[in-house]
Structure 1
């Protein structure tokens, strides 16, 4: 039976060797998502604009929520702070939610077509990153319209997001592998994603919680990234490099473990499809 490479080097080698296929698949995934609609890919811009308006209305008008202790921020500030966190969450949730079924919905790639199955995870991550970039462009346009040119620290957003992408990539590999054998994983992931939406500092600041719960919230892998993206994009602060470096190290481990599990288990995919 064929043995698949599991070294760290093979991760980069696979991506480089299949980069054209991955890019083409990402484009097909994005275009296919809006195929047949009147606006087409413009929906990728309309969706975040609509959600920004909806969350602004619901939380700052209906619930009259305030972000800081002083409560002095405007509705626009609240919306931009909230949407920063939501962008990070959506990058995570979009890729993770599709991961458990990524092999199941592509049986031909396993049985009939010679296809680098590990590339499917790159496609999931790339597609979610595309929509995250579009949402962030909408966020930037809103910021510029309201406050002018943002701080130069906004250029550090890619550095802050990179460790999140490593973690998402590893989890996507792991979940796509285990989801092929255990179909209940898809349902479990849906529950966990909903839980993480409300257990992340998206709709509220960490400071709003008692200190003991603040420590628990930092166990959420999205918390650090959400806080750091807000720092560099909205508040014009430099990221906490120690946290970012530590997160990158942990995410790299998650990425490799996910890849290892995927490569070790892919030999049996054809038997369960």
Structure 2
């Protein structure tokens, strides 16, 4: 199948995914922005007001700054969350496609990732606007969020390909996905800074790429700190390697999909 046809198929499934999620609702696609906003309000109240959390140690820190930093973390996390929750059912819910020899099955899990990337991109634009409103400054460093989204997509697609193939043989993956998302959310520095993690635990959590992706994005948007290009380069290389390995695993496992469905 030609690349142009694959891209068109991918676009079709992404649009279909958006429509299926909001079919029949009065607000339609507006829920794409409302859902993370509602989550932001809840998390900001619980952690920012009740527990008096802050991303800054200075007295000038405000609930608004914490809300923006939290929104950044949630936006990046949603890319991974969509992959973990959507990919396991992407193939087994469409058994007819497995019997089509010419159909590129990897499009099914990948489409669920890109729908999350689009939402995350919209949310990060909102974060930048809120940050500009708060500090009255704008810098070109915000453009680094583009490669951050690309890197996040690499990891998310790798996760989606592997989980979608594994769930064909092990349906328990679907049940475990919600617990995995919950564990990932609280272990990725969304509600706190990485330096607040006790050393023994950070030695483990530092291997989670989401910890670094969230931290870099937040430092750029909130504080306009210098960009650690070497860290971003390492994350990109590891993301590409994860994507290649996952793609090979998917191709290996898909040969027996028709027998397992």
- Category of TM-score, reference length = shorter chain: over 0.9
CA shift at 1:63, angstroms? 1.6
Pair 1:160-2:148 in alignment: yes
Instruction: Determine which of 31, 49, 52 is the counterpart of 1:43.
Output: 31
Identify the residue that residue 141 of structure 1 maps to in structure 2: 129
CA shift at 1:130, angstroms? 1.3
Give the Cα separation in 2 of the matches to 1:112 and 1:152. 47
Segments ≥4 residues shifted beyond 6 Å: none
Q: Give the root-mean-square deviation of aligned CA atoms.
A: 1.9
Alignment of 1:170-185 (within 5 A): 170-185=158-173
Give the Cα separation in 2 of the matches to 1:42 and 1:210. 40
CA shift at 1:137, angstroms? 2.8
Give the Cα separation in 1 of the matches to 2:39 and 2:132. 18
Give the Cα separation in 1 of the matches to 2:189 and 2:115. 24
Counterpart contact for 1:150–1:233, Cα < 8 Å:
no
TM-score if structure 2 supplies the norm length?
Answer: 0.92
The alpha-carbon distance between structure 1 residues 91 and 71, as it changes in their structure 2 partners (threshold 3 A), is farther
Instruction: Determine which of 199, 209, 216 is the counterpart of 2:197.
Output: 209
Alignment of 1:65-84 (within 5 A): 65-84=53-72
Give the Cα separation in 1 of the matches to 2:107 and 2:197. 40
CA shift at 1:260, angstroms? 0.5
Identify the residue that residue 252 of structure 1 maps to in structure 2: 240
**What SS does the corresponding residue of 1:18 show, helix, strand or coil?**
helix
Identify the residue that residue 10 of structure 2 maps to in structure 1: 22
**What SS does the corresponding residue of 1:234 show, helix, strand or coil?**
helix
CA shift at 1:126, angstroms? 0.8
TM-score if structure 1 supplies the norm length?
Answer: 0.88
Give the Cα separation in 1 of the matches to 2:149 and 2:226. 14
Unaligned runs of 5+ in 1: 1-12
CA shift at 1:141, angstroms? 3.4
Alignment of 1:103-142 (within 5 A): 103-111=91-99, 114-142=102-130
**What SS does the corresponding residue of 2:103 show, helix, strand or coil?**
coil
CA shift at 1:213, angstroms? 2.6
Bigger shift: residues 140-149 or 101-110: 140-149
**What SS does the corresponding residue of 1:246 show, helix, strand or coil?**
helix
CA shift at 1:159, angstroms? 1.2
Counterpart contact for 2:14–2:114, Cα < 8 Å:
yes
CA shift at 1:92, angstroms? 0.8
Counterpart contact for 1:177–1:265, Cα < 8 Å:
yes
CA shift at 1:208, angstroms? 1.8
CA shift at 1:71, angstroms? 4.9
Identify the residue that residue 21 of structure 2 maps to in structure 1: 33
The alpha-carbon distance between structure 1 residues 73 and 155, as it changes in their structure 2 partners (threshold 3 A), is same
Give the Cα separation in 2 of the matches to 1:228 and 1:143. 15
Residues 54-84 of structure 1: per-residue CA shift (max 9 Å, x gap): 2222222122112233353000001111111
Give the Cα separation in 2 of the matches to 1:219 and 1:72. 32
Identify the residue that residue 234 of structure 1 maps to in structure 2: 222
Bigger shift: residues 185-194 or 200-209: 185-194
